[in-house]
């Protein structure tokens, strides 16, 4: 099987790929079974990488939205204080 992509996330590689490499594949009856297992492991690694990326992206967007809301509320508060004087 040819590996066309290795993910750079050490947690994904360390927990899945490297552990899979330590499996005793000589106990499998064929190269086809080994390739089938790695096919599923690579799909899993891809999904985990995408999920982690989107979570980081979502957190960044959420933080930006929060900061915008805080600025708007401060602006409204200042305007209310000016009108109450």
Helix segments in 1-85, DSSP class H: 10-12, 18-21, 31-84
* 55-79 tens-digit pLDDT: 888 899 999 999 999 988 888 877 7
Residue 85 has pLDDT above 70, yes or no: no
Nearest-angstrom CA–CA distance, 20 and 30 = 16
Residue 28 CA to residue 16 CA, distance in Å, equals: 19
Segment 47-51 shows an average pLDDT of 85
pTM assigned to the model: 0.55
Do residues 78 and 41 touch, judged by C-beta distance below 8 A? no
Q: Measured in whole angstroms, how far is the alpha carbon of residue 54 from the centre of its chain? A: 6
């Amino acid at each position: 099987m040819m590996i066309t992509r290795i993910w750079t996330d050490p947690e994904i590689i360390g927990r899945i790929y490297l552990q899979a490499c330590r499996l005793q594949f000589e106990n499998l009856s064929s190269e086809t079974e080994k390739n089938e297992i790695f096919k599923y492991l690579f799909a899993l690694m891809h999904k985990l990488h995408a999920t982690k990326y989107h979570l980081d992206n979502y957190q960044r967007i959420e933080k930006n939205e929060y900061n915008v809301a805080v600025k708007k509320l401060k602006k409204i508060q200042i305007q209310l204080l000016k009108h109450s004087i």
